[in-house]
Structure 1
């Protein structure tokens, strides 16, 4: 039967809770009684990764990550204003102006997020994980901004939201245990760049580049100088990871994903808003 959901209540549900469903059946005028079953209503922050049927067949639902990319969030205008105030760019032009202009716009977004002093937080487990239904906790755009905390998935969907808002098409890339964000540098989608969004937060660059001793070279640098270094290194690290896992990323195998947040995907999956 069609169920009339209270979508406002579902959107505001941020913790798993039980719900009882009562079903009354009547056939040919005869009352067949009532059955009650209790289910768990999952938090809006639980993204369904996939589920298993018949004990073995896995159904991938990674496309649902697109729901956490919210280019319509009201806070985006404030962030874009902050980015323009940095004078890195005078306006957001999308793909008008070539790859270098695209890169400068992306850096302006990176710079303004770093100024908000995000911290890396690896929280991703959910309370209802099982060997049948697989999910991961994802912060919504509002949750990430309010807490100033991100993990690799939170940072990727947050950054993808900003990219879509300035008409640059983002890509969510998933490898086993990790996610990073990409973007097309031209409107014809011939070239891509990738970003390791965990570097937006307060991280030890030596963890990513152990042979370069980068942290020692950051001493005495201004905030903007440090931001540019981490942006360039983020691209270097993520592009290397994409090359390393490229075959798996495009294979459709479990734990891999290449998800363009395109107009076609947006027609199927709408952003979650609160």
Structure 2
């Protein structure tokens, strides 16, 4: 009873802290009713630290159980338990919500399911582990050999079919199927379990691993929305080049020429009428995931509207098309654009894309620099990588995060 009261209190404190952080972020990054200065960023820092403490005090983890053949008293025994199969099998769901837009880019390092198997007999067992999402993926298959009394743990992420995922316009329920086969051909255990597939317009910033209770960072996959070869992006780039025809030469000259190219891209988006809108709601995300609706650059150009991530991937698309190296910079509750100042150098500058319509390029750069400095310093002090993430597009492309169109 006491534990339940403590859990309820911890949850209430977390919700209060979440509301305060959301209020401050809106003042600074959405409505811009306060200047981004040391005092305001310091107040936000204190509120976010309080939220971090509240989140650490909230119990989590230990969930996601799909299948367990152990005969423990606190859970039902599977129809085919260890006395029948000679195996102790535990299968856990590691991701309750699958990001449909980028699922085809994921692999076993970000598992959808994990198998834990223990051999209870005095001979080695050779097993085939299978998982798939019915109608949406191929089978993920691993074969393992387990010596007597030994254990093995395997994570799997099935390969999703891009064509099937493109049809998902709203959050969709799907069936995950898992199976453990003896290589002699006998099915040892099998189970189906419901999961969510997110709409393609939804970008997952993180998903909660129900087993560990930890948030899995998904922000690097925002690079899939950076589409430098889209016709609409190339048309806008040509207009930007007309503003500074002698400057659009990539990294062939000094950093000042690089900044001129970024400025021209910023100004051409202003000329196109791109306006900041705070449209971040994503239906079907649930409490286990942090998600945001993200428009492709061609959609932002056509609709002349963009939230912070929309504007960031739009400008990143223009810079990548101009043979520069942009970066998607993510801090708690916000995103903005970075760019590499010289080829191959770890030197970066930043611009705030939510300020395209109503502010000068110089003001947008100053605001982004202030936020970047604050959160980089915070990452150094706290050792928390989530405080400041700078995803360089050239590195992400090498890692297989390719444009979705």
Aligned mates of 2:326, 2:295 — CA distance in 1: 18
**When the two structures are aligned, how many residues end up with a matched partner?**
246
**Cα deviation code 1:120-168 (max 9, x no counterpart):** 1111121123332222221112221222111111111111111111121
Q: Verify: 1:73 aligned to 2:204, yes or no.
A: no
- Structure 1 distance, partners of 2:352, 2:186, is 62
Q: Is the 8 A contact 1:156 1:197 kept in 2?
A: yes
Confirm or deny: 8 A CA contact 1:140 1:154 kept in the other structure: yes
Unmatched runs of 5 consecutive residues or more in structure 1: 206-229
Alignment CA distance shift 1:186-1:18 (3 Å): same
- Whether 1:257 aligns to 2:389 is yes
Quote the residue 2:170 is aligned against: 15
Partner of 2:370: 240
Q: Indicate the SS of the match to 1:254.
A: helix
Mapping 1:39-78, distance limit 5 Å: 39-53=195-209, 54-78=211-235
Q: Does 1:99 align with 2:267?
A: no
Residue of structure 1 in register with 2:143 after alignment:
none
Change (3 A) 1:25 1:78: same
Residues 64, 269 of structure 1: 8 Å contact kept: no
Q: Is the 8 A contact 1:89 1:105 kept in 2?
A: no
What's the offset of the Cα at 1:253? 3.4
Whether contact under 8 Å (2:308, 2:335) holds in the other structure is yes
Rg comparison, structure with higher value = 2
Give the secondary-structure state (helix, strand or coil) at the position aligned to 2:386.
coil
Counterpart of 2:404 in 1: which secondary structure? coil
Cα distance per residue 1:216-239 (max 9 Å; x no partner): xxxxxxxxxxxxxx1111111111
**Contact 1:168/1:184 (<8 A) preserved:** yes
Q: C-alpha deviations, 1:3-41, integer Å up to 9, x for none?
A: 334412423533223335678998877789996544332
CA–CA distance in 2 between the matches of 1:44 and 1:272?
A: 14
Q: 8 Å contact 1:196–1:238 — kept in the other structure? A: yes
Question: CA shift at 1:59, angstroms?
Answer: 2.1
d(CA) in 2 for partners of 1:16, 1:59: 20
Counterpart of 2:242 in structure 1 is 85
1:94–1:167 CA contact under 8 A, matched in 2 = yes
**d(CA) in 2 for partners of 1:132 and 1:190?**
35
Instruction: Map Cα deviations across residues 83-129 of structure 1 (whole Å, 9 max, x no partner).
Output: 2233x224621111111111111111111111110121111121123
Q: 1:188 aligns with which of 340, 344, 361?
A: 344
Distance in 1 between residues matched to 2:191 and 2:402, nearest whole Å: 35
CA–CA separation in structure 1 for the residues paired with 2:343 and 2:283: 41
User: 1:52: how far off?
Assistant: 2.5
Which runs of 5 or more structure 2 residues have no equivalent in the other structure?
A: 1-129, 139-159
Change (3 A) 1:30 1:171: closer
Contact residue 174 and residue 249 of structure 1 kept, 8 A: no
Q: Is the 8 A contact 1:73 1:273 kept in 2?
A: no
Query: What is the CA RMSD across the aligned residues, in angstroms?
Result: 2.7
Show the counterpart of 1:143: 299
